[in-house]
Structure 1
Amino acid sequence: MEPDDPRATVRSLAQARGVSLTALSLMLGRNAAYLQQFVTRGSPRRLATDDRRRLADFFGLDEDALGAETRRRAFMLPRLDVAVSAGPGALVDAEVAMGAAAIDPALAAHLGLREGAASIVRVRGSSMEPGLVDGDLIVVDQAKRKPDARGGVFVVRIDGTVMVKRVAHGADGTLEVRSDNPAAPPVPDAPVEVIGRVVWLMRAPR
Structure 2
Amino acid sequence: MYLKNKEEKILKDFPNRLKDAMGSDTLRTFEEKSGISRSVLSSYLNGKTYPTLDRLTAISVASEKSIEWLASGEITDDRMVAVYQYDLCVSAGAGALVEHEKPVAEFRFSQDWLRQQGLHGRQLSIVQVMGDSMEPNLYDGDLILVRHDEARDGICVIRVDQDVLVKRVQYDYAEKSFLISSDNPRYKPFQLSNDFDGDFKVIGQVVRVLQRVKERDTVQ
TM-score normalised over the length of structure 1 = 0.60
Which residue does 1:164 correspond to in 2? Answer: 166
SS in structure 1 of the partner of residue 96 of structure 2:
coil
- 1:165 deviates by 0.4
Which residue does 2:205 correspond to in 1? Answer: 197
Q: Residue type matched to 1:129 in 2?
A: E
**Partner of residue 71 from structure 1, selected from 70, 75, 80:** 75
Q: Counterparts in 2 of 1:123-202, with a 5 A limit?
A: 123-143=129-149, 145-147=150-152, 151-170=153-172, 171-184=174-187, 187=190, 191-202=199-210
- State the identity as a percent: 36
Measured at CA, do residues 155 and 44 of structure 1 come closer, stay the same or move farther in structure 2, by a change above 3 Å?
closer
Measured at CA, do residues 154 and 193 of structure 1 come closer, stay the same or move farther in structure 2, by a change above 3 Å?
same
Q: Distance in 1 between matches of 2:50 and 2:157?
A: 53
TM-score normalised over the length of structure 2 = 0.56
Q: Distance in 1 between matches of 2:50 and 2:178?
A: 61
- 1:74 deviates by 2.4
Q: Distance in 1 between matches of 2:133 and 2:89?
A: 14
Q: Distance in 1 between matches of 2:140 and 2:165?
A: 12
Contact 1:85 1:124 in 2 (8 A): yes
Structure 1 gaps, min length 5: 1-42, 48-63
Aligned-pair Cα RMSD in Å: 2.8
Contact 2:177 2:191 in 1 (8 A): no
- 1:71 deviates by 2.3
Q: Distance in 2 between matches of 1:185 and 1:172?
A: 20
**Which deviations, in whole Å up to 9, do the C-alpha atoms of 1:55-84 show, x marking residues without a partner?**
xxxxxxxxx79x955725222211111100
Which residue does 1:121 correspond to in 2? Answer: 127
Measured at CA, do residues 110 and 173 of structure 1 come closer, stay the same or move farther in structure 2, by a change above 3 Å?
farther
Q: Distance in 1 between matches of 2:199 and 2:142?
A: 26
Q: Counterparts in 2 of 1:87-106, with a 5 A limit?
A: 87-106=93-112
Structure 2 gaps, min length 5: 1-48, 54-66, 193-197
Contact 1:140 1:197 in 2 (8 A): yes
Task: Tell me the number of residue pairs that the alignment of Structure 1 and Structure 2 aligns.
Answer: 143
Structure with the greater alpha carbon radius of gyration: 1
Measured at CA, do residues 187 and 44 of structure 1 come closer, stay the same or move farther in structure 2, by a change above 3 Å?
closer
**Which deviations, in whole Å up to 9, do the C-alpha atoms of 1:151-196 show, x marking residues without a partner?**
3000000121000000011131111111111112555865521000
SS in structure 1 of the partner of residue 106 of structure 2:
strand
Which residue does 2:20 correspond to in 1? Answer: none
Residue range with higher mean Cα deviation, 100-109 or 83-92: 100-109
Contact 2:179 2:191 in 1 (8 A): no
- 1:87 deviates by 0.8
Higher helix fraction (1 or 2):
2
